Chain A
Amino acid sequence: MTQLLRLLIAAVFLVVLSPARAQLQFEVTGGSTGAQPIAIVPFGANDGVMDIAQVIEADLVRSGLFFALPRTDMLEKPTEPKQIDHRNWKAVNMDNIVIGSVRRDPGSDRVAVRFYLFDVLRGEQRLGFEMPAAEPSQLRYTAHQIADLIFEKLVGIPGVFNTKIAYVASQGYGLDRKYALMISDWDGENPRTIATSREPLMSPQWAPDRKRLAYVGYERGRSSIYVHDVASGKVRKLVSEKGINGSPAWSPDGTKLAITLSYETNPDIYVVDVATAAKRRLTQTEGIDTEAAWSPDGQSIIFTSERGGPPQIYRMTADGGSPTRISFQGRQNLRASYSPDGKNIALVNLDDNRYRIALLDVASGSMRLLSDGRFDEGPSFAPNGATVIYATQGPKGAELATVSTDGRVRQRLRQTGDVREPAWSPLQR
């Protein structure tokens, strides 16, 4: 009882000290030189619910590809297309403006949002949508959807504003170390704890259906691979062999996991059927084989292997056939994963005593560094393939960083303690 009391006091204390501590703080650290101007006008009748235009603006600015006209610089604030006076926007050098309005359904409490994207230079409507009515608490997601539509129209690739990241937060050392598996929106908002442990939690991976996470946990000195249903919180222990149970990677169809087990000899790649837990061994070599990842077409698996000496990336068929080395630049290459279009592979490259994130072009075999830390690790592609999120060493502990695959846009996500092992969710279907 006193322990519970102390705990409550401790929790309240933490919160009073710094209410946002458990939330990742988002910062754009490098923007694109080609960022485009856009004006997001406050939506009409947007009273009593969240400021939708503000969420859309924050999304677009955080992408690093836009800069937004401050509201105080707007010469007019139209909410209907016929209210737009193009001269007011040419005067402030805006090509694209977004306007909209909110309507509360009198019967239910649901809120419908209509928005337009106008090219004021050409005087043409480029988008006009009536978004499905949503509960007021879900409006943030409506705003993200609108930002996705605008982003796709202006940038040419899908937006990822409605995606999530899973990550492992940890604090303390030795006996006091505590681990939490968290999920938040892509920009760190709405953090939620999925699992906590005093033993390590590792390697979260989203299922392609975005409803489940696979990850590694330890209980009393034994590791296991868990499959966690995010909505219900139901957890299933899928594999718990003697030795290593690690590095789960979903097959693109979501029916199988490639994993690392060591119970037969030493760490090797296996494929386990998620429904039946039946498993099959794919590699047999001496030394470590680990960190498997599937190609988007499900035909190949790439993995880290010591079969040729220091760890490098190899590719084999999904049933374990004809393994071939595919990484050649650098002392070591580890933890590779395919881009959604299968054309690139993100990995961890060791050279000059630095572990950095690099991009391997699958067709040409050429490699390009994306990050410049000393201990960068855990790269994970955004589902539109335009950005990679990874973990890096910050001044106060491990934090998350993103970099666009062209290397121009950089963002940081940090919170108290260490934040590691980011996994970017698929797009919502």
Chain B
Amino acid sequence: MFKQVLISAVVAFGLIGAGCASKSNKNASTGSTGSSGSSLGTGGTSDLSGSGSAVGTDDTSGLSLADRTVYFAFDSADIDGPGQAIVSRFAKYLASHPTAKLRLEGHADERGTREYNVGLGERRANAVSAALISGGASAAQINIVSYGEERAADPGHDESAWAKNRRVEIVQL
């Protein structure tokens, strides 16, 4: 029994840990979801990184996480003043760079069920998308994904953590 537990522990944590190892890691042996390539299990580019993913070269390059994140009130998808400033900066950038593309990642705080929160996160990303388009971007430049409450920016269980988690992160592709 003890031996069995040991082996299980290696499988579970060895492989979680192996997520970033390489594309040819052993995940296949436990059935990583790699039916279409190996990114479930090996991960892709880091889309939560603050400074590392600045790809653009113009006025949006090198923006900190704070400068590319729009925050929302509880149960709301309304973009406030600071959020408008961030959105209009990206709208101008997209309008003047027709080949540039963004991904909008919608998030919710932990309150509410997980799948419902995926819906809330998408509603927020859609609000940012609509604002970008009205600011001159084209729909073809925008991808949307909602992670719901799955990727909290702050692991806390209070209002200050929740306020940081109700957000849309703008990621340049």
B partners with A: yes
Known A-B contacts A219-B40, A235-B35; the reply to A196 vs B15 at CB < 8 A is yes
Stretch at the interface among A20-28, A29-37, A59-67, A380-388: A20-28
**CB–CB B114/A23 < 8 A:** no
- Cα A202 to Cα B12 in complex, Å, equals 17
Q: 1/0 per residue B121-158: CB within 8 Å of A?
A: 01100100000000000000001111110111101010
Residues of chain A contacted by B6 (CB below 8 angstroms):
15, 19
Q: How far is the CA of A54 from the CA of B115 in the complex (A)?
A: 40
Q: A202-B114, A217-B40, A288-B116 are in contact. Are A195 and B32 (CB under 8 A)?
A: yes
Task: Kindly list chain B residues whose C-beta atoms are within 8 Å of the C-beta of A219.
Answer: 33, 36-37, 39-40, 44
A156 close to chain B: CB less than 8 A: no
The residues of A that contact B148 with a CB separation of less than 8 Å are 200, 202
Within 8 Å CB of B30, what residues of A?
Answer: 192-196, 233
* Pick from A235, A267, A421: contact of B31, CB under 8 Å: A235
- Complex-state Cα separation, A291 to B30, whole angstroms: 28
B39 to chain A, nearest CB (A): 4
- CB within 8 Å for A335 and B116 given contacts A19-B9, A192-B11: yes
A267 touches B119 (CB 8 A): yes
**Contact residue among A218, A226, A235, A290 (Cβ-Cβ distance under 8 Å from B147):** A218
Choose one: A4, A23, A218, A260; the contact of B40 (CB below 8 Å): A218
**Interface residues of B, count at CB 8 A:** 68
Q: Which chain A residue has the least Cβ–Cβ distance from B52? A: A175
Q: Mark A235-273, 1 if CB is under 8 A from B, else 0.
A: 111000011101100000000000010100011000000
In the complex, the chain A residue whose C-beta lies closest to that of B18 is A7
* Chain A min CB distance to B17 (Å): 6
A7 partner, pick from B2, B11, B17, B145, beta carbons under 8 A: B17
Q: Which residues of A contact B35 (CB under 8 A)?
A: 226, 235-237
Complex Cα distance A326/B164, Å? 34
Which of A79-87, A102-110, A166-174 forms part of the interface with chain B?
Answer: A166-174
- Determine the distance from Cα of A22 to Cα of B7 in the docked complex, in whole angstroms: 10
- Which residues from chain B contact A7 at a C-beta distance below 8 Å? 14, 17-18, 21
Considering the chains assembled together, what is the distance between the CA atoms of A377 and B111 in angstroms? 10
A221 CB–B CB distance under 8 Å: yes
Provided the pairs A218-B147, A375-B110 are in contact, do residues A19 and B39 lie with their beta carbons within 8 angstroms? no
**Chain B neighbourhood of A4, CB < 8 A:** 21-22
A196-B40, A218-B40 known; 12 new pairs, CB 8 Å cut-off, are: A11-B17, A14-B17, A23-B8, A169-B12, A169-B16, A196-B27, A197-B33, A223-B145, A237-B36, A244-B119, A334-B113, A375-B157
Residues of A within 8 A of B171 (CB): 221
Complexed CA–CA distance, A420 and B126 (Å): 28
A193 CB to closest chain B CB (Å) equals 5
Name 16 interchain pairs, CB-CB below 8 A, sorted by A: A19-B5, A21-B13, A23-B9, A169-B16, A174-B153, A175-B46, A180-B12, A200-B150, A201-B33, A221-B143, A288-B123, A290-B115, A290-B116, A290-B119, A291-B115, A355-B111
Interface residue from A11, A171, A222, A291 paired with B145 (Cβ < 8 Å): A222
Chain A, residues 396-429, CB within 8 Å of chain B (1/0): the string is 0000000000000000000000001100000000
Give the chain B neighbours of A179 by CB distance below 8 A.
16
CA A11 – CA B123 in complex, angstroms?
40
Q: When chains A and B are docked, how far (Å) is the Cα of A15 from the Cα of B115? A: 34
Docked-complex contact A198 and B31, CB < 8 angstroms: no
Cβ-defined contact, B15 with A221, below 8 A: no
A interface residue count range (under 10 / 10 to 19 / 20 to 34 / 35 or more): 35 or more
Residues of A305-338 whose CB lies within 8 A of B: 311, 332, 334-335
- Min C-beta distance of B14 to chain A, whole Å: 4
In this assembly, does B19 line the interface, its C-beta being within 8 Å of a C-beta of chain A? Answer: yes
Does any Cβ of A come within 8 Å of B48's Cβ? yes
Report the 3 A-B pairs with minimum CB-CB distance, sorted nearest first.
A233-B31, A198-B43, A22-B12
In the assembled complex, the CB of B50 is this many whole angstroms from the nearest CB of chain A, namely: 9
| Residue with the highest number of chain A CB atoms closer than 10 Å, among B12, B43, B115, B155 | B115
B10 contact set on A, CB distance < 8 A:
11-12, 15
CA distance A265 to B109 in the complex (A): 23
Interface contact A197-B113, CB-CB below 8 Å: no
Residues from chain A with a CB closer than 8 A to the CB of B115 are 202-203, 246-247, 260, 290-291, 304, 335
When the two chains form their complex, are residues B143 and A197 in contact, meaning their CB atoms are under 8 A apart?
A: no
Contacts of A210-239 to chain B: CB distance below 8 A: 217-223, 226, 228, 233-237
**A10 and B20 alpha carbons, distance in the complex (Å):** 13
CB A252 to nearest CB in B, in angstroms, measures 20
Residue from B14, B34, B145 in contact with A221 in the complex, judged by beta carbons closer than 8 Å: B145
**Beta-carbon contact of A182 and B12 below 8 Å:** yes
Question: A10–B120 Cα gap in the complex (Å)?
Answer: 38
Kindly state whether residue B160 has any CB partner on chain A within 8 Å: no
Let me know if B163 is at the binding interface, CB within 8 A. Answer: no
Q: CB of B76 within 8 A of chain A?
A: no
User: Known contacts A7-B18, A178-B19: does B114 contact A203 (CB below 8 Å)?
Assistant: yes
Q: In whole angstroms, what is the CA distance A219 to B32 when docked?
A: 12
B160 CB → nearest A CB, Å: 15
> Residue A95 at the B interface, CB < 8 A?
no
